[in-house]
Amino acid sequence: MNPGPLDDAGKAAVGIVDALKVQPAVLALTLANFTLLGFMFYALSGAATSRELIIRQVLDNAASIHAMLQQRAVACPDK
């Protein structure tokens, strides 16, 4: 019987688990890296939402200022 890709994946997983048993610091660093990636995703997602809100407010303010200036604009008198 020829070993299939599932057998190869199982052997690789067993090898990784055995390596992590020998050096638990690698497991701790891997978990820390994944935690850092999760935190960065969360922080950047919040920053993007905040930035979108600020840009929307700036554009709304610019539109209201434009509307106010148009209401108060005086046409140039004829010569």
Residue 3 confidence class, pLDDT cut points 50, 70, 90: low
**pLDDT tens digit string along 8-54?**
888 888 888 888 888 889 888 989 999 999 999 999 999 999 999 99
Does the pLDDT value for residue 77 go beyond 70? no
* Structural domain contains residue 4: no
Give the CA angle between residues 19, 22, 24 to the nearest 5°: 95
* Structural domain contains residue 47: yes
Residue 23 · residue 16 · CB < 8 Å = no
The tally of domains found in the chain comes to: 1
How high is the pLDDT of residue 76? 67
Confidence (pTM)? 0.56
* Structural domain contains residue 3: no
* Structural domain contains residue 58: yes
* Structural domain contains residue 78: no
Residue 79 confidence class, pLDDT cut points 50, 70, 90: low
* Structural domain contains residue 1: no
Higher confidence at residue 19 or residue 73? 19
